[in-house]
Structure formats: C-alpha cells, structure tokens
Structure 1
Amino acid sequence: MRPAAHPVGRLLGQVWLWPAVVMLGVGLYRLGTPELWRDEVATWTVATRSLTDLLRLLQHIDASNGAYYLLMHGWTVVFGDSVVALRLPSVLAMAGAAAFVALSAERLFGGRVAAVGAGLLFAAVPQVSRYAQEARVYALVTCAIAAATWFLLRALERPGWRRWTPYCVAMALAGAGHLISFSTVAGQVAVVLLHLWQTRGAVQRRLLWQFPAAVAVSALPVLPVVFMGSRQSDRQLGWIETPSFRLLVRFGEHLAGAPHVFQALALLALPALVLPGRRVQAWQALLLAELPVVSVWVVSRGGTSYFIDRYLLFTLPAWAVLAGGGLAAVYKAVTGLARRGRTPRQARTVGVLLAVVLLAVPVVAALPKQSAIRHVSSHSDSEEPFRAAADLIAAGYRPGDGVAVPLGEQSWAMVGPGVSYYLPSDVRPYPVFVAESAAEAEDLSPTLCAQPAACLGQGPRIWLLVLGDTTDPLSAIPPEQAQVFRARYGAPDRVTPLGGVTLALLDRTG
C-alpha cells in the first residue's frame, strides 16, 4: 500500500495554490504606493463613520455599495484605515478569484496545464492587479462570481441542494456587492443549456427547475439593494455615457487594461474553441465571458448606462479560464505529435515547454502596464494631488486656520475628505461655507451654506482649494464666495498649482 501523502505535500499539489500565491504577491507589490483617489476616499469616509451614520447615509446614496461599506466598517475597526489596510481586502479577494479560476479551468478542461495556466494568466492581467489594489468592491465581486462559476460547474455534475447552496451564497454576495454582477446569469444560462445538450440525461433534466430556483434564491437577499439602488441610480450613474457599438467590439481591450494583453488572451483561447476534445466546454467559458457584457450593453443603450470596464471586471475570470483551456489544447496536441519517436516523458516535456512559452507572451505584454498602474497617481484618470495639498497645509498650519474646498456641484471630486485623509491628526482647519457636515447631511459630502458670509467663520487665515491649475483661484469659485473672500482677505498671499488642484492661502494678518 502506498503511504499517504504528507499534508504539506498535498497542499503544494493543489492546482489552485500557486495561482493564488502569485496573485497575492502581485497584489501586495507596492500596494501603498498609489495615492487614494476619490472613489477610495469615499470608501474611507463612509466606512469610518459610526454604524448609525453609515446606515443613514445608505438611505440617500450609495445603497448599491452598502454591503461593501458595512464590511469595510468592521474591517477598519479591527485593522485601521491606512492605505494598505483599506486595500488589503481587495488583494485577498483577487487571490481567491485566481484560485477559483484555476479550479474552474481544471473542471472544464482537465489537467494541471489548464488549471495553473488559467490562474497565472488571470494574475497577469493589468486590470486584475489594478483593482486588487483598490479600496472598492470590484475585487470582492470578481471573487464571488469566480466562486459561483466553480460551484455551478460542480452542481451541474451532480445536482443537489448541498452543491446549490454555496452557489446561492456566492451569487447573493456578488449581487449585494454590485448589482451589475447578476448579469452573469445570462452567461450561466448558456452554460447550463450547453451542458444539457451535451449530457441529455434524465437526471440532468432536473436542472431545468433547479437552476432557476437557485438563481431566484440568490436574488432574494439582493432585492432590498435593488429597491434602494434604483431610486439613487440617476444621481450616481448619470455620468456614464451611452455605449457605442465600437466600444462593445473593443471592450475586451478596456477590460484587460492593455490591448496587447487581451489580444494575447484571445489568441490563446482559439485552440480550445477549434481543436477537438473540449470544444463544448470552451464555448461555455466564452459565453460566460461575453453574454454578461452584451446584456449590460443592450440595457445601457435604452436608459441609464452601466457600461464601464470596472463594473464588468467579474467577466475576466471566464476569459482566463478559456485561455487556460487553449493552453491545455495546445499541450495535448503537441504532446500527441511529439510522441512519435519519443518517450511519453519527452513528449510531455515538449508540451510543457511550449505551454510555458505561450504563457509568457501575455505576461511579458502586461509588464509595462503592470509598472504604470503602481505609480503614485495611477489610480485616477485625472490628477488628484490630495497628499501634496495636505503636506503644504500641514507645513504652514496655524491653530485657528480654516479651509474652503469645492462643494455643491463640485463635491464629486472629494477634495475635502481626500486632503483630510492625508492631514496629520493634529492639523484640523475648520470647514468654511459648510452648513452641515457630511455625516449630519447623511451624504458623501457636506451641505453647502446658502449664505457664504454667515458660514465664513472668524479665522485669520483660510486655505482655499479649487479644481484645476490656476493663478487666480478666486475666479474658480462661485462669485458670492469670491466676493466674501475679497472683502475680508483681499487677494491670496500664496497660490500653488499642484496639477489638478490649486492651493491658495488667504491671510488677513500678513
């Protein structure tokens, strides 16, 4: 009798382990280097409120992110609110997603080549790294959908409530995290139908009612989020443009974060789709990747648009699974050819070497982008120098100073809380032109004072922050505010454009 393998040996032999470890390392690399951008600042300012204030806010805005905010509230209580602490849940989630990618590829295509290759390809995609290092919900949703895919594949093989239950849990978590992720059901329907077509078994016909029932059960916990989110969608999503057909065609390039990387993934996927062996499984993976994107594109054409790459990040695991299947198809074909005149071991070596070379193509193509997304300001599409502004204010701060930040229609920029995050704990200028704090207003931003003169305060100095680079910051604020400043302080004594934001000091003591 062969002796039982050591537990460590069994662990090291698991196909999901190395993709998860690699993804964890990729996610942790320079995790704290990029500065928080406005969406991450929103996570911080909501998660660090009291639980009562957080729940009140969700009644007015961002209910669709409520589950994530509640998670982060508990997380920050335990682990703090440093940049690394805020982003660590996303790193762990992407490592989990890589593990489930490997498991799904193994179940669909069989063998270690498909499994490990798919997991490593997933970790190499620039957008995966980008959102593994972001304090937002997208990585957690990606992990939940990747898990739901694996649980679905298991349930298809042997239907039963023990296998449908984890699928329901994963889908419910994904839907609570981001409603758009439920569009993956469009791809899952195709997976189920292709499975039924391939098996045609009497037992499998139970799937015709079990799968819809599982989807319905998954949706029940998400219904409150749907109800609350639908009332807030115009305010939160009005900035997303209606997508064109050209954007749909080229969406994969945006989804991967680099055109060459997506093109390499697509080329790797082709062998799985055309070579004999696992073509049905390859089409299952392709439809799982594409149908959610198409369905969201169609919906976005008719009203509120949801068509943006990070909202559909959860479709990347299916692309990685398909590309892993392509590696496995090439490996199988080359190994078969190499066996002529060679030993089986030599043939396998040839196949593995070719698979490694093919795997290296998208990895090498991703390296420039992988470096770029770890730059200090790489998380924002526009410059948001919150730390630079905070450093200047801290260096020149005097007790009794005030600060005026963009409010009202410009509050989306999150300049006030963004700068506040990077200020030392003993540097707290009082807010100017604020009628209610964000917590009091039960919103992401403070309420703008209707009478600027009444909300100016008595501070001898005011730090003024305006959007854009300018030498005349008073011209960049509402005229009634500028008039009050000119009457009491005159012209700014110091104006510093920081690249995206200008900081000025108004000083009536000078």
Structure 2
Amino acid sequence: MTSRAAVLRRGLPSWTVAALWTLALGLWGLSRQHSVWRDEAATWLVAVRPAGEIRHLLTHVDAVHGLYYLLMHGLFGWFGPSITTLRLPSVLATAVAAACVAVIGRRLAGPWAALGGGMVFGLLPAVQFHLQEGRPYALVAAGAGISTLLLVNLLQGRGRGTYWVAYGGTVLVCALLNWLSLLILPAHLVTLVRTRAGRGTWVRWAAASAAAAAGALPLILFSRSQSGQVAWIPPLTWHMLIGPAVLLTIGGLGALLDRPRKDPQREGPSQESPSQEGPHREGRLSVAAVGLPLLAVPQLGLIGLSLAKPLFLDRYVLFSMLGLALLIGAGLETAVRAASPRIPGAARWLGPALIAVSVVALLPQALATRSPGSRVDDVLAMTADVRRLKGPGTAVLFVPAERRDTKLVSPDAFTGLRDIALTRSPQESSTLKGVEADPARIRGAMLAQRRILLVTDSPDVARPPAGRRDRVKAAVLKKYFTVVADERVRGRRVTLYERLGAARPSPGSAR
C-alpha cells in the first residue's frame, strides 16, 4: 500500500504530461477550418503520386524533401489523403520533442524544469505554427530532441555503444528530412567542450557525426543543383535579426539562472566501473551546457550561411526551440527552489502558477495560429467562388503558375474549365506546377476566348509578374478584357474577365 500511495502521489511522469499536453494542443483546431496553404498543398500534390513518379519528380525538384514526401506517400496510402493525415505526423512529432525536453530537464535540473520546459515547448510561437503543418520541420525537431537526449545519456555514463549508432542514425534521418538540421552537430560539439568530455566520448561522437554527415552529403550536393527553389528568400537584413536576438536574450537569461542540482536523482546505475569512462562530475553537465548551444548555434549558423546565400527562414532551425524550452524550464526550476525556503508551500503553487501565466500569455498566439488567416494563403478558400463564376466556354489561367495548386488539390471545382496555358501536366513533366506554353501561344489562346477566369494572389501578398508568360497574361487581360467579377479570399484572388465587345452573360450563366 505504501508503494502504491507513493506512485499515486507522484502522478504521471513529467514527460508524459508534456507529451499529452502538446498532443492536445496539436489536435485542437487541427483542420484550421478546413484550410490548406501553398506549402502544405505541395506536400499533398506530391504524396498522392505513385512512388515511381515521386522519385522521378525528385530528380527535377524538391529533392531536399524526398524522404518526407515518400513518408507522406505511405501514410496517404494507408489512411487516405486528408487534412488529418497531412498534419497528424507533425503533431505526434512535436509531442515526442516535448517529451524529450521534459526528460532532459528532469535529468539535468529537476521536476519543475521538466514540467515547465516540456509544456512551454508546445506553446512557443514558432513551434505552434509548425505544430499543425504538413511539412517536415516538426519531424526534424523530434529527431533533434531524440539525438540530444541520447547525447545526454552518453555524457552521464548511461549509454552503451548502440546509443552512438542510434545517435548517428537519428542525425542522418533528420539531415535527410532537412540537411540544415546538421547544424545540431556544432551545437553538440559546444556541449562536449563545455562539459570537458573525455577522449573516448570525443572519438565516438566524431565517428557518429562523420557517418551522419557522409550519409547526407550526396543529398546536399545534389540539392545544390535545385537551389533555384529558394531563390525567392530575401537577403538577410538587420530587422530579420530582431527575432533571433530576442530568443538568444531569453535563452541567455535562462542560462544565467540555471544552477547545477545538488541532489540529482538519476535513474539507472549511479556509478560506473572504474575501468569505464564514468558519468560527468556534479555540475559539469547542466541545462545551460546543453540548451544554450542548442538554441544559439543553429540560429547563428543559419545567419552565417545566409550571408553567403539567402537562406534565413526560422523553420529551417525550428529544432533550436528545444534549447529555448530547456532554458525556460531551468529558470522555472531555479525560481521554485529559490522561493521554497522563504515561502512555505511555494513548490506546490509557484510552478503551476508560472506555467498558467505562460499559457494565458501565449493563448492569443495559439488562437491566431489556428485561424486560416495565419498563413500566407488558403488553397481551398476560393474553390466555392470558382464553382460560382465558371460557366460554359470559360477558360482558366494561373498567375503565377504555382497557383495551379488550387486546381490540383480541388480538381472537381475546375471541372469544365480549360487550362489554356498548360501544355504538359505536372505528372507528365515531373514538376509541381506543370509546363506552360511559350508566351506567343498563350497570347493566341487567350485572344480566342470569350471569358477567362484568373486565379492569382490577392494584392496584399502578390508579387509583380516575374516571367514573360505572366507579363503576357497580364497585358492581354488588361488590353482586351474587362472585369466581370472579382473575389478575394484569404490570400487568393479569382477574377472573371470577359472579352471587350462580347455580350455580357446573364446572371445565371456565371453560376
């Protein structure tokens, strides 16, 4: 009875609470009111293709996401293509990452660092945005959490040789999902330096890291031939550094507050054989030694890379938020321990109170992230307008050609509309958007139409036409057509044009 009572008093392990909490956050508003934005649409469009077509596509475009697309292809095959299938892997992966934060925090700081860090992780704005995304970045964060936990185990003398194999394999899988995740290796290197790891640890880490990097090298080299895909990323500017500066400031404060535990409760064996490389002495392995490099090095590394080639997007280093959550948790642990001797019962109410304040403070961000308007656009938003405006003999154009994703995700809405610019479909051309005719042929096809439905971006997010094809489309519509109807919905715009001098259709003909 005594043992059972002790178990009941302890309640659920902190990593379980963190995982369940994050899972609940992910399932809350998962469909975002049945909206899908352009990046997720790309995942959808590739994942529904046969595996052979996906492999052929990757030789032309998006090789950097090849493993993720094949994974989603398998999930779509097993469970069917749906918004839930699209986003649930990211939800589960984020829950795993939160659990890793909790376990590391418990090992290195204490119970409140575990609970606070694990629960805060899912509330961080960047994490909330990608928590419900049909893209690979949450999966990379989960892998980064697992590899960091494995490293902590090894530094504490808990691991075996197979842990190094698992460490290298996890880093490799993350690199195949997004090779910029290899920035975690210099972060772990800093941890090894700060903890004064032994020679044996250095040798094994170097071997595992080199194997992971070598395994990802072919993908890195091949993806450079497709670097035009990221040509749209703007050059680094000073205002883009404000976000990283704020994160590093918060993380630095957490590192200053972190203090080594005087009475760590380690699970498993507490001592190693004198002939083995034992666990680190007290205070040498801390949350600051693990969390601060994990936060700072990927952020600074991406900034450095962006000075040579614009690559600065926070999602590429989403996994660095693991370090921020660890440091916030350590700050909470320090606050509770500092208050306990002075305020009776502080350990019972201060931790929950601070966590509750964090939840309330970040609730507006959580609500905003789950709205369809939180993304640049909504691929599905204007399908109802397409159905309403299309009519017999109507043609359709897309500016830019990437906006064809609406038709590809919702083909039923475009039934009866002739895609007059398209010469080869995305499947036939092994591309994401298909191949369009040359500008002269597009102009001739447009002039042969009486009505044209244009699908494009709304003015607040649209960019000036960049290619000759798009400039020809805009010029012909302006000179020879007039606007009959114009609808704008969540980042997308659908406009019905009628040829000048043509009889205006009756209201029923546009439905």
- Using the size of structure 1 for normalisation, the TM-score is 0.82
1:333, 1:399 → 2: CA distance?
74
The residue aligned with 2:300 is 294
Q: Cα offset for 1:118?
A: 0.9
The residue matched to 2:134 in structure 1 has which SS? coil
1:31, 1:445 → 2: CA distance?
27
The residue matched to 1:196 in structure 2 has which SS? coil
The residue aligned with 2:118 is 119
2:365 matches 1:369: yes
The residue aligned with 1:350 is 346
Q: Cα offset for 1:93?
A: 0.8
Deviates more, 1:281-290 or 1:141-150: 281-290
The residue aligned with 2:286 is 281
The residue aligned with 1:446 is 434
The code of the aligned residue for 2:205 comes to: F
Q: Cα offset for 1:367?
A: 1.4
Q: 1:391 to 1:246 in 2, by over 3 A?
A: closer
The residue aligned with 1:132 is 131
The residue aligned with 1:163 is 163
1:237 paired residue among 230, 236, 240:
230
The code of the aligned residue for 2:305 comes to: V
2:30 matches 1:42: no
The residue matched to 1:435 in structure 2 has which SS? strand
Cα pair 2:487 2:494 within 8 Å, conserved:
yes
2:221 matches 1:222: no
Q: Deviations over 1:202-226 (max 9, x none)?
A: xx32012111001112223322211
1:131, 1:252 → 2: CA distance?
21
Q: Cα offset for 1:5?
A: 9.2
The residue aligned with 2:457 is 467
Q: Cα offset for 1:81?
A: 2.3
The residue matched to 1:243 in structure 2 has which SS? coil
The code of the aligned residue for 1:15 comes to: S
Deviates more, 1:357-366 or 1:9-18: 9-18
The code of the aligned residue for 2:487 comes to: T
Q: Deviations over 1:397-434 (max 9, x none)?
A: 4566432111xxx33xx321125424547836332211
1:279, 1:367 → 2: CA distance?
36
The residue matched to 1:491 in structure 2 has which SS? strand
The residue matched to 2:387 in structure 1 has which SS? helix
Q: Cα offset for 1:311?
A: 1.0
The residue matched to 2:212 in structure 1 has which SS? helix
2:193, 2:310 → 1: CA distance?
29
2:319 matches 1:314: yes
Q: Cα offset for 1:273?
A: 5.7
The residue matched to 1:124 in structure 2 has which SS? coil
The residue matched to 1:30 in structure 2 has which SS? coil
1:48, 1:457 → 2: CA distance?
35
1:431, 1:43 → 2: CA distance?
22
Larger proportion of helix: 1
2:388 paired residue among 363, 386, 395:
395
The code of the aligned residue for 1:325 comes to: A
The residue aligned with 1:17 is 16
Q: Cα offset for 1:97?
A: 0.8
Q: Deviations over 1:308-361 (max 9, x none)?
A: 2111110001111111122222222322445xxxxxxxx4x3123222233333
- Using the size of structure 2 for normalisation, the TM-score is 0.82
2:451, 2:234 → 1: CA distance?
41
Cα pair 1:268 1:323 within 8 Å, conserved:
yes
2:442, 2:335 → 1: CA distance?
69
Deviates more, 1:76-85 or 1:491-500: 491-500
Cα pair 1:391 1:423 within 8 Å, conserved:
no
The residue matched to 1:49 in structure 2 has which SS? coil
Report percent identity of matched pairs: 29
Cα pair 1:394 1:423 within 8 Å, conserved:
no
2:328, 2:478 → 1: CA distance?
63
Q: 1:46 to 1:9 in 2, by over 3 A?
A: farther
Cα pair 1:402 1:431 within 8 Å, conserved:
yes
2:93, 2:314 → 1: CA distance?
18
Q: 1:47 to 1:275 in 2, by over 3 A?
A: same
2:180, 2:143 → 1: CA distance?
13
Q: Cα offset for 1:52?
A: 1.6
The residue aligned with 1:258 is none
